Amino acid sequence: MLRFVGEAMGTSWSLLAVDPPGDAAEGVQGAFDRVVAQMSQWEPESDLSRFNRAPPGEWRRIPSEFALVVAAALEIAEASGGAFDPALGDMTERWGFGSAGPVTVVLPEGHTRDRLLEYDPGSTCIRRSEGAQIDLSGIAKGYAVDLGGEWLRGQGVCHFLL
């Protein structure tokens, strides 16, 4: 059994694997890097960041992995009655959990935001309303681990903990 460690998405990761290939750390890190390139709100050039900066109301095509995570996030949002909200990115930024760090913003009493995120699975396109910005922090790390596991299984590694 071999152990590998690395850093991604603001945290550390470790891999314990039985008979892994020599490039196991690079393969797992590559899977994580793909998720960051597509779904990080901290990376200014990620697909997610570019989408959040685009004018609201425009349909924009996204990569298939990003689309899978958006679809799952929207399913969880519906199943949870909105307790999980992938369109809450503007609020996580305001609360200081986003890329800008702590910010003091006082919203007027009774202020509500229209946070609508739409996904068209046929075209892998998404669009957002004026008040919506995507934050996939609550789901993208789990997907990254799944993607790293897929890479390992594709290399013939059957026994691992990531």
What is the dihedral sign for C-alpha 58, 63, 69, 71? positive
pLDDT value of residue 18: 97
Contact partners, residue 18, CB within 8 Å, separation at least 6 = 1, 157, 158, 159, 160
The DSSP output letter for 113 is -
- The pLDDT-based confidence of 92 (bands split at 50, 70, 90) is confident
Q: What's the whole-number mean pLDDT along residues 109-133?
A: 82
- The pLDDT-based confidence of 110 (bands split at 50, 70, 90) is very low
pLDDT value of residue 88: 86
pLDDT value of residue 11: 92
Q: What is the DSSP string of 126-138?
A: EEE-TT-B---TT
Whole-model pTM? 0.85
pLDDT value of residue 101: 63
Q: What are phi and psi of 17, to 5 degrees?
A: -145, 145
Q: Residue 142: what residue type?
A: G
Residue 64 has pLDDT above 90, yes or no: yes
- Say if residues 60 and 54 touch (Cβ distance below 8 Å): yes
pLDDT value of residue 147: 97
Residue 44 has pLDDT above 80, yes or no: yes
- Say if residues 132 and 114 touch (Cβ distance below 8 Å): yes
- In 3-state terms the chain splits into helix, strand, coil percentages (rounded to 5) of 35, 15, 45
Residue 39 has pLDDT above 70, yes or no: yes
Mean confidence (pLDDT) of the chain: 90
Farthest-apart Cα atoms in the chain, separation: 59
pLDDT value of residue 66: 97
